[in-house]
Amino acid sequence: MAKHLIPILPGAYLGMLGGGQLGRMFTQAAQAMGYKVCILDPDPLSPAGAIAEKHLLADFSDAAALQEMATLCQAVSTEFENVPAQTLDQLEALGVYVAPRSNGVSIAQNRIAEKAFLTAWRHELNLGPVPYCIIENQAAIDGFDDALLPGILKIARLGYDGKGQATVHSLVELKRAWDDFGRVPCVLEKRMDLAFEVSALVVRGHDDAVVVYPIAQNIHRNGILHTSTVPAPSLNTDQEKRVLQAAKVLIRRLDYVGILCIEFFVVKSGEIFANEIAPRPHNSGHYTMDASVTSQFQQQVRAMARLPLGDTRLLTPVSMLNVLGDLWFTGNNLEDAPKEPAWAKALSHDSAKLHLYGKSVPLAGRKMGHINCLGTSLAEARQIAALVASDLGIEP
């Protein structure tokens, strides 16, 4: 058997670029399976660094830290899409098994490359991205087709959770928004008549095995995920098949090893559009921690350790509720001292599962944790999530 196909067994060190909540939950899953974890993150208060066996407190391009990580770890992955692609290449050059590799991550890092990728496979997928245009110079503004209005202008790099985005209704607003973004390369997406949003969590192993989780239906508030519900209540059987098939095709076309999340729009006509690709575990996949045979984080461990992929079956209907830092402040008065939310009241619902991320300071809009609300039926799971939200003072 070729060396790169040999499984990496428990007891070995696995490396993670990034030490936020996704890195923390990966660390917990890896440690439960017997692995040790090395985190590279410049934040001394990194949630993952606090529990990992080793925390390299350095920048992602720090040559000495990367050498140390490569010496210690047999495999490395990433918990966020904006890690420099050259960091992944450098670790691979140092002999580490890197999953996913930089080619797939770099496409997801740049909305322009991402749209081109989705457009290239439109005919095979039988769906593509929403109508869009690239805004990266004055000529694009001068030749702008106002049929794309109203639209959403998004910076090509580093935008997430609604940041780096602006809704525009006219050419004047488009020009103003592009100026506000510093005239950096952007993508303008036509605003669609949206019915609902879903996401597919898909995993590919080193041996080209591919598994997909049940589709989650998502609700966002202010650009941040609010709830994810599984099974997706509004998705019909044909739409579900198309989304699942598209996810399988895209992960193979990216030659991607690891866990990938693809977000889709379903418009009121029933048409489906591929929206965004996230090369990592995803907020909308947190339900898998309590409601699936294999959590997305254990799956991430399996993929990077070259182990067989786990079963993705849903064990019970679930609605995941995000917990943001606003909850620590009475009446959203951020000048007050933070006060611990009413966890005991929320957990009086015995199928509500609380996961907090170990972040030291609650801030408005900051993801502090999530609660998975399980039910014997989809209706019950959604009802419990609504009750938990009410108990915590989260608007329904």
CATH code of the domain containing 30 = 3.40.50.20
Mean pLDDT of 20-24: 97
Number of H helices, E strands in the chain: 13, 18
Number of domains present in the structure of the chain = 3
pLDDT score, position 3 = 40
pLDDT at 359: 95
d(CA 386, CA 381): 9
Tokens linked to 153: 């202008």
Other beta carbons within 10 Å of 139: 9
- Residue 93, domain member (yes or no): yes
- 118 inside domain: no
Would you state the pLDDT for residue 1?
A: 29
Q: Which whole number is the average pLDDT over 49-73? A: 98
111 domain residue, yes or no: no
CA distance 222 to 209: 37
List, for residues 80-113, the tens digit of each pLDDT value: 888 999 999 999 999 999 999 999 999 988 999 9
In this structure, the answer to whether residues 169 and 204 fall within a common structural domain is no
Structure confidence at residue 357 (pLDDT): 98
Q: Which of 175, 190, 205 is the last residue of a domain?
A: 190
pLDDT at 219: 97
- Calculate the CA dihedral of residues 152, 158, 164, 168 and round it to 10 degrees: -20
pLDDT at 4 over 90: no
pLDDT at residue 80, rounded to an integer? 87
| Residue 336: predicted pLDDT | 74
Is the pLDDT at 2 greater than 50, yes or no? no
Instruction: Give kind and range of the element (H or E) at residue 30.
Output: helix 21-32
Q: Which residue has the higher pLDDT, 339 or 53?
A: 53
pLDDT band at 279 (very low <50, low <70, confident <90, very high): very high
Q: Do 321 and 381 have their domain in common?
A: yes
Query: What pLDDT score was predicted for residue 158?
Result: 73
Structural domain span for residue 91:
3-98
Q: How confident is the model at residue 162 (pLDDT cuts 50, 70, 90)?
A: low
pLDDT at 223: 84
Predicted local distance difference test score (pLDDT) of residue 82? 83
The reply to whether 163 and 262 lie within a common domain is no
Radius of gyration for the alpha carbons in the chain, expressed in angstroms and rounded: 21
Q: What is the pTM for the complete model shown?
A: 0.94
Together in a domain, 83 and 138: no
Collapsing DSSP to helix, strand or coil, 272 comes out as strand
In tens, the pLDDT along 284-311 reads: 999 999 999 999 999 999 999 999 999 9
Identify the pLDDT of residue 331.
66
115-156, pLDDT tens digit by residue?
A: 999 999 998 888 999 999 999 999 999 888 889 999 999 999
Confidence band (pLDDT; 50, 70, 90) for 238?
very high
| 139, 156, 190 - which closes a domain | 190
The values of phi and psi at residue 115, to 5°, are -65, -40
- Percent of the chain surpassing pLDDT 70: 96
Of 190, 205, 239, the residue at which a domain comes to its end is 190
Residue with tokens 């939310």: 341
What is the spatial distance between Cα 136 and Cα 157, in angstroms, rounded to a whole number? 12
CATH of the domain at 142: 3.30.1490.20
